[in-house]
Structures are given as C-alpha cells and as structure tokens.
C-alpha cells in the first residue's frame, strides 16, 4: 500500500457503474485519483481514460494491477468477471472495493473467501452501498440504541420504473432483492435462515416471461420476519422504503420527503427515477470511506463474509422461486477473520 498522498486506483469495468465511479473519484471525493481503467471493450476504456489526467487504459486487469502507480482496485465489471479480478489482486495484496455481487454464486464466493483467509487479513470492501445511505444509517443507529426494543419485523418496498431488457425472475433476486438481503443482515445483526417467494398474478405491464411483482419473505436466526415487495416495472420511478416494527415503536425510511411543494391546489414532491439518483450520496460516501480506510491501511465496511452470505441467501431465494416453497439457507460457520 502506498504512503503517497493520493491513492492510485485502477477501475475495472467502465460501463454504467465503473464510469460513474471514475467521475466520483476524479471530481467528488478526496484522497484518490484514477490511475488506470480496464475494459474488455478497448474503445470504451480509452474514452473514459481520455477524460482523466494521467490515466492509462488497459484491456487486461493484470496489466493495470502491475502498473507502478496503481495502489488499489475498484471492480465494476459484471459479476461473473469478479472472481478472477479479486484473485489477481490478492496475488499482489492490493486493497479492493468490489461492486456487488461479490461473485454470482455461493460456491465462487466461498472460493474468494478462502483465498482472502489464506492472505490472513481482510482486503475487500463489498459494494453494498445502502449501508452508507444517510437514512439507512439513521435507522441502524436507532435500532442499535435499543430505544424501540427488539426489531420484530421489517417491511421493505423496492420498486423500479422499468426493468432492463432481458431481466429474469432470477435477476429479480440476484440483482434487486440482494440489497434487502444485505440490509436485513446489517440492520438486525442477524443471519437469514430461510426464504419464501410468493407471486401475485403478474402485472399486465410486466415484460413477457417476467413474473412482476413478487413478494419475498425472509426469516432470521434472531426470530425476525422480513418481507420485500419487489416490483421492477412499477412505472412511476425508483423507490426504496423500509419500516422496522419493534417492541416499543416503529421507524420508517425512504418516503422521499426532502421537499414537499404546494401549488395550484395540490401538494407533492418528486420521485427519483433510478438508483444512481436515489443513492448518489451513498455511493459517494461508500467510495470515500473505502479510500480513507485504505489510506489508513485498514479495511472497513461490508466484508467478503457479507458478500458470501448474500450469495447464499440469493441461491436459496432463486430455489424458493423455482420450486415454489420455503427454502433454508446453507451457510458455513463464520470464520474468525470475519467475526
Ligand atoms: N451497487 C449498486 O447499486 C449497483 C448498481 C448497478 C450495478 N452494480 C454492479 O456493478 C457492476 C457493473 O454493472 P454495470 O451496470 O456498470 O454494468 P455495465 O454492463 O454497464 O458495465 C460493465 C463493463 O464491464 C466491462 N467488462 C465486461 N467483462 C469485463 C472483464 N472481464 N474485465 C473488464 N471489464 C469487463 C464491459 O465491457 C462494460 O463496459 C456489476 O457487478 C453490477 O451488479 C451495482
């Protein structure tokens, strides 16, 4: 790790998230600069690099990681490409921020977890950015304070204006509900033990082949019940809401009441249209926290254990969906490195 003033970051994958992280590191946060970008699409990498001073474009992650001015790696390639990039960075003992999912399934997540354990220290922060959202942070602090007593239930709503082409039932779990699976584990400090997926008659607006919306029920080892409405073609915008029901009160976030207008006999506000808008500040805080911790020589935030646990819950979720029954989550015992 560098002791130089500024952390040199290689961003792997320069698509929607990667290009946004390049902008964020270059223009929004402090303490880091983008030294390299990597994309299998050489043109895309070159285009992104051309907008950043001193940034070199590569098509091979390994070549970027070997560069003298690269001190840390941000992975924003598609999930199936994460494992090889993570293992290559471990070879050089480089610190990483890896976008969710850690890897696409529990078996590959376990391989990465074992590889990090062989290093003997944590190297990876996983990109579950809701943990950096101001409202979620407030809810977590309130639950942790014990003021409302023990959380009994969490009600979640996760709605997108429309789903991208080719979105499948499995992606509904792996790409969307995975965020509720992570915040459930984090907010409650409990592991998810079983998943059930129920479906109403699909919306007529849902694309052919996608059962939308769906209703996911999670059970935890602390005896809490969690429900998630996932509706990816709601039409009106991007909405993420959570309500904790506790022994002595409830707490709700995500109503989006930052500004309420009164005009022409109506009152109202606006609804974010996508996750980039809704969670913009959370992404900024997530990357700043990673840069700050890395410069201190520390690793904080969601760990590989969290990435592995989320992958295991997703796997149970997809099985629950396809088999139409309550499915238990299979987890290994939590290793000492992650306790
Ligand atoms: N945290 C969040 O809220 C959030 C939101 C959206 C996406 N994501 C995650 O971010 C990652 C990227 O998603 P996206 O929406 O930006 O995808 P995208 O398709 O827009 O971009 C992916 C980029 O990676 C490149 N690529 C593909 N294989 C590669 C490889 N082996 N090495 C280097 N580059 C490669 C592609 O050419 C493309 O430019 C995924 O893991 C996704 O799940 C996270």
Would you state the pLDDT for residue 77? Answer: 98
pLDDT in tens, 85-121: 999 999 999 999 999 999 999 999 999 999 999 999 9
**Of 116, 64, 125, which is closest to residue 93 (Cα–Cα)?**
116
Beta bridge partners of 72: 9
63 CB within 6 A, ligand 1: no
Q: What angle do CA 93, 98, 99 make, to 5 degrees?
A: 175
Which atom of ligand 1 sits closest to the CA of residue 129? Answer: 1
Looking at the predicted structure, is the pLDDT value of residue 2 above 80? Answer: no
- Domain-embedded: residue 199: yes
pLDDT tens by residue, 11-55: 999 999 999 999 999 999 999 999 999 999 999 999 999 999 999
Ligand 1 contact via 76 beta carbon (within 6 Å): yes
Kindly tell me if the per-residue pLDDT of 124 is higher than 60.
Answer: yes
Rounded to whole angstroms, the Cα distance separating 245 from 227 reads 12
99 DSSP β-pair partners: 127
Gap between the Cα atoms of 315 and 198, Å rounded: 16
Instruction: Say yes or no: CB of residue 77 within 6 Å of ligand 1.
Output: yes
| pLDDT tens-digit map of 269-301 | 999 999 999 999 999 999 999 999 999 999 999
Domain extent for 333: 134-278+310-338
Judge if 147 and 204 occupy the same domain: yes
CATH code at position 329: 3.30.360.10
Asked if residue 178 has its Cβ within 6 Å of ligand 1, the reply is no
Residues 48 and 112 in one domain: yes
CA of 273 to the centre of ligand 1 (A): 20
Same domain, 144 and 110: no
Quote the Cα angle for 20-104-11, to 5°. Answer: 30
Neighbours of 252 (CB within 10 A): 13
Q: Does the pLDDT of residue 6 top 80, yes or no?
A: yes
* Ligand 1 pocket member 127 (CB < 6 A): yes
Q: Check residue 4 and give its pLDDT.
A: 56
């Amino acid at each position: 790790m560098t002791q130089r003033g500024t952390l040199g970051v290689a961003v792997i994958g320069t698509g929607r998230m990667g290009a946004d992280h390049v902008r964020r590191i270059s223009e929004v946060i402090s303490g880091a600069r983008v030294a390299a970008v990597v994309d299998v699409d050489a043109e895309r990498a070159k285009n992104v690099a051309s907008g950043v001073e001193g940034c070199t474009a590569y098509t091979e992650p390994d070549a970027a990681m070997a560069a003298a001015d690269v001190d840390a790696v941000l992975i924003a390639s598609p999930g199936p490409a994460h494992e090889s990039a993570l293992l290559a960075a471990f070879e050089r003992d480089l610190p990483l921020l890896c976008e969710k999912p850690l890897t696409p399934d529990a078996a590959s997540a376990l391989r990465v977890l074992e590889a990090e354990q062989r290093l003997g220290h944590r190297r990876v922060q996983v990109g579950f950015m809701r943990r950096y959202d101001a409202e979620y942070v407030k809810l977590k602090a309130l639950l942790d304070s014990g003021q409302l007593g023990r959380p009994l239930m969490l009600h979640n709503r996760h709605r997108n204006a429309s789903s991208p082409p080719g979105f499948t039932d499995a992606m509904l779990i792996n790409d969307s509900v995975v965020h509720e699976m992570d915040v459930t584990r984090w907010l409650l400090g409990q592991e998810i033990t079983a998943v059930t997926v129920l479906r109403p008659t699909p919306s007529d607006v849902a694309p052919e082949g996608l059962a939308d919306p769906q209703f996911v029920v999670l059970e935890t080892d602390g005896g809490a019940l969690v429900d998630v409405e996932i509706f990816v073609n709601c039409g009106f915008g991007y909405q993420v809401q959570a309500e904790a029901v506790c022994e002595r009160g409830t707490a709700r976030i995500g109503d989006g009441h930052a500004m309420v207008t009164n005009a022409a006999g109506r009152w109202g506000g606006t609804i974010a249209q996508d996750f980039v808008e809704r969670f913009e500040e959370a992404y900024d805080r997530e990357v700043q926290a990673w840069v700050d911790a890395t410069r201190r020589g520390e690793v904080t935030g969601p760990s590989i254990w969290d990435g592995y646990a989320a992958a295991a819950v997703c796997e149970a979720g997809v099985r629950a969906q396809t088999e139409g029954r309550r499915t238990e989550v299979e987890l290994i015992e939590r290793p000492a490195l992650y306790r």
